[in-house]
Structures are given as structure tokens and as C-alpha cells.
Structure 1
Amino acid sequence: MTKTTPVTPKQDRPPERKKRSLLGSGLIVSSMTFLSRILGLVRDIVIASLVGAGGAADAFFIAFKIPNFLRRLFAEGAFNQAFIPVLSEYAEKKTKAELRLLIDSVAGCLGLSLVTLTCLAMLAAPALVWVFAPGFASDPAKQAITADLLRLTFPYLLLISLTAFSGSILNTWGRFAIPAITPVLLNLSLIGCALFLTPLVSSAAEALAWGVLIAGMVQLAFQLPFLAQIGLFPIPRPKWKHEGVKRILKLMAPALFGVSISQINLLLDTLLASFLEDGSVGWLYYADRLVELPLGVFGIAIATIILPALSRQHASSDGDKFAQLLDWSLRMVLLIGLPATLALVILAKPLLITLFQYGAMTATDIVMSAQALQAYALGLLAFMLIKVLAPGYFARQNTRTPVKIGIKAMLANMIFNLILIVPLAHVGLALATAASAFLNAGWLALGLKKEGVLRWSPGWGRYSLQLATALTAMVLLLLWLTPQATTWLSESLTERVVRLAIIVIAGAGTYLSVLFLAGIRLKHFKHQE
């Protein structure tokens, strides 16, 4: 008699996952993220106008950076990279009941841990400010204000981590749009509180801190109905001995230093900048915000869609598809990262003048921020490469190798910081971060190559030549079209925006046109799982 494989009843199977091409998924995430980042720029324009880049701005930026840094390090870094591979494996191989138990157990353990951490952090706010910005100790009033603001902003970590947990589930089931649009709510909250709450509280900085807290609550509430829609609404039940929870915890410990190493380097920049002249933290903040635009819209978008896909292919033992997806990701990063890098370097001052030189933002702030932006921009490609190379390890539940690489990169960053901070001040900090990011990306790529996971597909030589030709044409056009900074300063807001839009559209149009003439087509980047 022929043996038959038992069929799992439909009601016992996990929910169906939406299937679409990776390019289609990437476009969804990129478009949603683009909307969020544009609103983020509006938010930063409002902040720059209200608080500029002085002592009050530094206090808010530190109070916001601490929970935001921990969010990226923990929720979107270690937890996300450890949770999605295990969740994908359960979705592929386990029943719906086993999957739900994993989600409920993780929700309970995560929630309990975060509540405890939040309570302790609020009690120890002054100590946290000293750790993250020791230079503030020389100004007791500034340190006290920062600690007060931190007590308002730190619960954001609890709320946004649970939001990231929800988003990981939605992304694994192909619902990319909801997690991608969620950050819009943070920007709307900050803009609304800055404009309408400021007159009701002691300062604009306090209004912004309330905006952070409100945003965390709204973002979490927004995602929960969509989890219920796919039948995976979590009921928190802390089960520390659950097999899946133990595996996630085991993977998380080293992952803390893996994919989030660039965030640790940025934090070191802030820490050292707190010892420099007033405004240094703000200059780095505004520069980082502009680098985050292409990084978030494209680099993080690609990383968001490939981690669940790589995890599924690893679970199904499909090594060839795994390698093809990594190769596709690298091509996409170069296609977008290289022109974005060159455009930010050339247009640093025009961008900052157009977006931020209003109200409390001075001409000196623009010059200093532009120098930091150019330095950070040099590392943009490396930041993007880290985002797509690290999942090549995490999807295979290998967190040790990225940790070793991350530690080496962090040590290199510290050395670069000490070498460059004296002659170049805040610009040296940004350059050190960029240089260490390239070391990090290079070591990640070499490791994947040695393990046989990263394999170069045919056509890389031709592709590199096509990119180089298009980039040369774009750079020449941008240099020709971009006037001196004095021209931008003499123009009105409308004139600045129109001129900048024309230059950006012309540069992007030239780049894409030359790529088309060189033989590159959209169909070349379609990749079906």
C-alpha cells in the first residue's frame, strides 16, 4: 500500500500569508516609509523653527534619543532579528495552536520585561542622562531639564517595542503596509504637540516630549486591529520556559551588537558631542535626519522584506534561492545608495537651508550641520549594506558572527573618534561613524562569502559599468545646476523649494534615463520568492 502524508486540517493551520514579488513588497514599504520620512522632515522643520540647535534642543534630542536608540537596538534590532526567524519557522512547520502559544508567550515575556525596565529608567533618569550625555554634568540646569523630559519620553520604549512586536508578525504574514505607515503617527503627534501644546506647557521641548509619549500609545493602538484581522491578536502569557521563547532569548543576546552597531556608533557621536560646544548635538541630529531619509525609505525597506523571506528559505533548506535573494538585495542597495550618497554630499547646504533655516536656526547652525551631513553621507552606502547583509546571518539563526564583527567595528569607531574629534570636532565624529560602517559591511560580506552563502550572480561587471556611467552623468548635472549658498539664502521659501525640487528631479531623471539607455530595465529587479 502507498503511504500518504497526513494532512493538517485547515482550521489547525496558521493563517495564509500574502504572496507578492519582493519588488512589489519593497515598493509598498518604500512608499509608506517615504510618506513617513517626508512628514519627519516637516516635523524637523517645526522643531528647528521652535527650538533651533541650542541648549533646549540638545536637552530634547537626548531625552528622545535614549528611548529611540534603545528601540532601534532592542525592538527593531536584537528582538526583531531573533523573533522573525523563529516565528517564520513556527509558521512553516507548526500548527496554529502552537504558533499562537509562541506569540502569546513572547508578548507576555516582552511586556513584563519592558514594564520593569521602564519603571527603573524613570526612577534613574538623571543617571541615564549622565551616561548618555556626560558633558551635560557641567550644566546642572540643562541636565535636570533633560532628566525631566526623559521621564516623559522613556515609556515610548515600552509602547514602540510592543508596536515593533506587532509589526514583526504583520511583516511575516506579508502585511507590510501597516507597519510601514505606522511611523507617520509619530511625526503627526510631534508636529501637533509642537504647534498646539507648546502654549499650554512650560516650553516647546516639553510639548515635544509629550508628543513622543502620545505617539507611542497611538502607534500601538493602530496596529492591534490588524493582528486581530489575521487571527493572531496576542494574549500576553509570560512563559519563560517555552521552547520558542528560550531560542529567541538565546539569539537576542549577541544580536544586540549585530545589526544595530551603527546605532551604537551614532550614540557614541552624541556622547562625545555633549563635551563640545553648544549646538553640536543638534548639528549631528539634523545631519543624521537627512541621511535617515534614503536609509529608511530604501535600505531599511529592503531589509524589512528580505528577513522574513530569507528565514522562510532557510527553514525550507533552499540555499540557492537564499543566495539569489542576497545578490538581488546588494544590487538594489547599490542602485539607490550610490546616487543618494553623491546627491547628499553635493546638495548638503541647499537641503539644510531649504528645510531648516527659519526661526531659531542660524546660518552657523546650517554650515555646521552641512559639514556633518556630508561626512555622514559618505557612510550611507555602508549603512544600507549592513541592513541587508546582517539578515543573511540572522535568518540562519547565526547571531555570533555579526556580534564579533560588530564589536570590532565599534572598537574601530572609538579609535577613529579619538583621532578625528580634536582636529574636526563634530565632523570628525560623523566621519568616524562612516568609516567604521564600511569596515562593518566589509566584514559581514566577507563572512557570508566564506560560508558560501553570498554568491555573485553573472553580470556584475556590466552592472557596475552601467551604474558608473549613470552616476557620472548625474553628478555633472547636479554640479552644473546647483548655485552658491548665497543664492539660496537670498531666496524665499517658495523659491528655495521650487529650485531644489527642479534640481532633484533633474538629477534623478538623468540618472534613470542613462540607466535606461545603458540597458537596465525594471523587470531586471523583479524577484519572486
Structure 2
Amino acid sequence: MSLLRSAATVSGLTLLSRFTGLARDILIARAFGAGGLTDAFWVAFRIPNLLRRLFAEGAFSQAFVPILGEVKAQRPEAEVRVLIDRVASLLSVVLVLVALVGIIAAPLIVSAMGSGMRGPERAADFDSAVWMTRMMFPYITCMSLVALASGVLNTWRRFTVPAVTPVLLNLAMIGASLWIAPHIDPPIYALAIGVMIGGVAQIAAQLPAMAKLKMLPRLSLDLRTAWADPTVKRILRQMLPATLGVSVAQLSLLINTNIATWLAPGSVTWLSFADRLMEFPTALLGVALGTVLLPSLSQAHAKGDTAQYSALLDWGLRLTVLLGLPAALGLALSSEGLVAVLFHYGAFTAADVGQTRLAVLAYAVGLVGLLAVKILAPGFYARQDIRTPVRIAVMVLVVTQMLNLLLVPQLQHAGLALSIGLAACVNALALLIGLRRRGIYRPVSGWGILALRMVVAVGAMSAFLVFANQHLDWLAMHGLVRVAYLLGVIGVAAGIYGLALLAMGLRPRHLRRASAVSVVASKQA
């Protein structure tokens, strides 16, 4: 399967995941609105998500996938299977212990994540956040095992199952909202129960695909043998700096969540719903490209093919800019319509729409940076260089908090979103400079003409969106009429962008990582 087709497959299935996630959030907005208890759920849900990114999708994947790809390319299948068994055994034991500690220490953890809830006037919110944190903490164990299975499947270029499994979490939460919530008090506790059901379902979905590859882990309590394995030790050594790097980024989110609990009630929810809109382009493009690039980059590095390595990065960056910039402008210029159509129902008021729209505008500033990081960071990870991104992440953390000091007093919750977006741009620029200075990435010719084409296409698209928003009152419209207008505006804007690119000479074949790109890269080597 070609990289473009693989990316399209992952992107399409991720789109399904994001649509079900959007349906989930629409139900939450309609049923619970934006208030103290909803904030309590998002604070509690962010804790296992933080650990998931720290241990599962973050440090573990960054350390495990490149080394697994190297072992797969250089050793017999039996040794690969033994490695997976030993890693899975260690990971399972450690994460069960982490989950137990988290359940016991939930009050302390919620205090760190949401200190603004510690006041007597928000005691009910705090207690609810503690209960839901305890219910959801074992989710980290589920998701870490899912990350291991996904790493194996992606290394074997089986992208479909890992990309579709997040849908199960969203479906479980939707089902819990509809059928469990009416039977418990407070009803929002049903969401925490749904998270755990979804986590178990995601593990179950991965097992048949692993078994088909004959790589289903055989768990063992012989941890001494697993710990003594030199390759396992390499993965653990790589995880230490990776954990530091990911924890720096997650520390920034933790600080921002804590700050948001001190702002107006509803701030955490407004940011969460704005982040949901940002997840569409970041997942469809950034995550999809990062997922298919990391195994390919790891294999190119194992073979010593520096030209191919650089060409892969160039291809990813071109797609990022080509699709990320119009997505950022589209989100910013259509923010009111998007938020109104998706969330302006039931308990979610017009004032909530306005506050969420401000957060979407602020996040959109950094969208291209967020996407670029998904492409540039694997350029280091695939070479098993995790320390460089860690050093950059520490710098970005400092930048983020300095921006918070400047922006939050004036912009409130939108200042938190803007600081994250601007810091992501700094992160991407620092990663790019690092790759260029080391000679790892050398741009292929053609960036100048691409920039010219995009200026014309983005300008035409933006002019239409400004015109449309001047003549549409999104809050006054209701029902299917509002949905139809939004779909029409998005469709016309996308059509204008695409037609303008075609008129400027861009063709679909230019989006493929054709052999010509590798040839050019080879000539530059």
C-alpha cells in the first residue's frame, strides 16, 4: 500500500472517529451544557487522557515503534514475537500498579488538575471529579495495551484496525449517555462508566488482528527475564527521554487546565469543545501522516537511505502546508457557524457559543504548527533521537507559560488556547531548524511555486468566507436550515480552493510521493 493510500485510509477512518466523537460532544453539550459538573467531567477525563498520551501514544510509541521496525527488518520472526511478549508483560504489570495508585490518590490528583474546584462553593464539582477520576483511571491500562497492539499493526502496515478502534470509545460514551445516564444520579457519571466500557472494547477489537499476524502477546509473570532482555532495555532507555518530552507537553496542558478552573465556570468545557473542532484537521492530516510516516522513516533509517528519509519528510510537509493552511483559515472564518451548528442546542446557550468561538479562533492560529510537529518530530524519533525533541519541548513549555502570563489576564480562556497555538508554531520551527542543521531534511525543489499557488487559492477561499459570514446570522437560524447553510458554505469554500489550485497548475499527481521526488532527493544528496 502506497503512503498516500495508507494516509488516506487512516485519515478516512480517523474522520469516522472524529464524527462519532463530535456526536458524543453534541450529546454532552445538549444534555449537560457548560457548567460546574461538566467541567468536573472534563477535568477527570483529562487525567487518564494525559497519562494515555504520556505512557501510551506518547513515550511508549515513540520508543517502541522505531526499535520494533528495526528488529523486524533485521531479525527472525521468532525473536520479534519474543520481544513483543516481554514488552507486553512488563507494560501490563506496571500499568496495573499505576492504575491502583491513581485510584487511591484521586483527590490529590484532582487537586493538582483543578485547584479552582477546591473552594467550598464548588465542593460538589470536586467530589464528582474525584469519583469520575477513580472510575476512569484504569482506562490508562487499556489504552497502553491498545498502543502496543497499534504499534505492532502499524509496523506491519495494518493501519485499518488501529485507526478505527477509537470509534468504539465514542460509541460507548454515546450509549452510556442515552441508556445509563437516566438511571444514575448525577447523570454525568454515566460518561465515566462509558469511558471504561470503551477502553475494554478497544482492547478486544485489536486482539483478532494481532492473532492473525501471529503476534498476539503471551503475557508472563517472568519479569526478570523480560527486564534482562537487551532490546527491552533499549526501549526503556528510549522511553526515559521520551517520557520527559511528552510529560513536558502534558505538564503544559495540566497547567492550562488548572488555570481554566480558576476562570469563569464553563471555561474548561468551552476549551474542550473548541479542542474537539481542532482535532478534525489535526487527526485527519497530522495524526494520519505521522502514523504512516514513522514506520517508513524507521525502515529508511535502518537501510541507511538518507535520500528517501528526506524525501518522506518533504512529502509530509508539503501535504501539511497544502491542506493545513486552508483548514486553519476555514476554522477561524467559519468558527461561529461551526460552533452554533454543532453545539447550540438544549442547555448550551448563545453565550456559550460566543465563548467557544473565541477559543476556536485562538486555537486556529497555531493549527499549521500543531500539524507540522506531527511530521517533524518523527524525523527525530525514527532515528531514535528523542533527546532533541525533549530539549525543544522544555523550551516550548517555558514559552507557553510566558504567553499565558501575557494573554490570559486579557483574553481569559481564549488566552490559554492562543498560548498553546503560538507555542506549537515555535515548536515546529525549532524542530525544522534542528532537522535542517543536521542535514537530515533537505527540501526538494518546488516550494516556491507551491507557495505562489497557495497564496492565490487561500486568498480566493478566504474572500468567499468573509462575504458569507457577513450575510449569515448563525444564531438566528435553526434546525436543518442552519446545517444546510454551513455545509454549503464549507463545500463552496473547499471547491474554490481546489479549483484555484487546479487553475494554478497543481494536479493530483503532485500530491503523491512519486518516484520523481526520491530521484530529486537522491540528486541533492
Q: Same fold (TM over 0.5)?
A: yes
1:417 paired with 2:404, answer yes
1:149 paired with 2:132, answer yes
Paired residue for 1:226? 209
1:361 paired with 2:348, answer yes
Find 1:74's aligned residue among 55, 69, 73. 55
How far did residue 201 of structure 1 move? Answer: 1.1
SS where residue 396 of structure 1 aligns?
coil
Give the TM-score of the pair, scaled to structure 2. 0.95
Find 1:302's aligned residue among 289, 296, 312. 289
Paired residue for 1:242? 229
1:515 paired with 2:501, answer yes
1:211 paired with 2:194, answer yes
How far did residue 482 of structure 1 move? Answer: 2.4
CA contact (8 A) 1:32 1:181 kept: yes
Paired residue for 1:202? 185
How far did residue 257 of structure 1 move? Answer: 4.1
Q: Deviations over 1:193-242 (max 9, x none)?
A: 10111111112310111000000000100111100001111112331121
CA contact (8 A) 1:265 1:413 kept: yes
Seen in structure 2, the aligned counterparts of structure 1 residues 260 and 172 have a Cα distance that, compared at 3 Å, is: farther
Judge which range, 343-352 or 196-205, deviates more.
196-205
CA contact (8 A) 1:193 1:211 kept: yes
Judge which range, 214-223 or 62-71, deviates more.
62-71
Q: Distance in 1 between matches of 2:270 and 2:404?
A: 17
CA contact (8 A) 1:294 1:340 kept: yes
CA contact (8 A) 1:482 1:503 kept: no
Alignment-mate amino acid for residue 116 of structure 1:
L
Give the TM-score of the pair, scaled to structure 1. 0.94
Q: Deviations over 1:271-328 (max 9, x none)?
A: 1101111111111111111011110111110000000000011011110000000011
How far did residue 490 of structure 1 move? Answer: 2.1
Paired residue for 2:520? none
How far did residue 266 of structure 1 move? Answer: 3.1
SS where residue 452 of structure 1 aligns?
coil
Q: Deviations over 1:423-468 (max 9, x none)?
A: 1111111111111111111110000000000101011101111111
Find 2:394's aligned residue among 404, 407, 413. 407
Find 1:99's aligned residue among 61, 80, 83. 80
CA contact (8 A) 1:258 1:390 kept: no
Judge which range, 130-139 or 319-328, deviates more.
130-139
CA contact (8 A) 2:350 2:475 kept: no
How many residue pairs get aligned? The number is: 509
Q: Distance in 2 between matches of 1:466 and 1:186?
A: 40
Paired residue for 1:86? 67
Paired residue for 1:454? 441
Paired residue for 2:6? 25
How far did residue 259 of structure 1 move? Answer: 5.8
1:496 paired with 2:477, answer no
Q: Distance in 1 between matches of 2:54 and 2:97?
A: 18
How far did residue 260 of structure 1 move? Answer: 6.9
Q: Distance in 2 between matches of 1:150 and 1:517?
A: 53
Q: Distance in 2 between matches of 1:59 and 1:323?
A: 45
Alignment-mate amino acid for residue 239 of structure 2:
M
How far did residue 483 of structure 1 move? Answer: 4.3
CA contact (8 A) 2:72 2:80 kept: yes
Q: Within 5 A, what are the aligned runs for 1:63-462? A: 63-138=44-119, 139-237=122-220, 238=223, 239-258=226-245, 262-462=249-449
How far did residue 258 of structure 1 move? Answer: 3.4
How far did residue 141 of structure 1 move? Answer: 2.2
Paired residue for 2:518? none
Judge which range, 134-143 or 257-266, deviates more.
257-266
How far did residue 377 of structure 1 move? Answer: 0.9
Paired residue for 1:477? 464
SS where residue 474 of structure 2 aligns?
helix
Q: Distance in 2 between matches of 1:236 and 1:520?
A: 52
Q: Distance in 1 between matches of 2:392 and 2:413?
A: 25
Alignment-mate amino acid for residue 100 of structure 1:
R
SS where residue 240 of structure 1 aligns?
helix
Paired residue for 2:16? 35
Alpha-carbon RMSD: 1.3
Alignment-mate amino acid for residue 189 of structure 2:
E
CA contact (8 A) 1:310 1:395 kept: yes
How far did residue 264 of structure 1 move? Answer: 4.0
SS where residue 488 of structure 1 aligns?
coil
CA contact (8 A) 1:62 1:132 kept: yes
Q: Distance in 1 between matches of 2:456 and 2:244?
A: 37
Segments of structure 1 that go 5 or more residues without pairing to the other structure are: 1-19
How far did residue 471 of structure 1 move? Answer: 0.5
Segments of structure 2 that go 5 or more residues without pairing to the other structure are: 516-525
Q: Distance in 2 between matches of 1:484 and 1:56?
A: 37
How far did residue 34 of structure 1 move? Answer: 0.5
CA contact (8 A) 2:53 2:246 kept: no
SS where residue 185 of structure 2 aligns?
coil
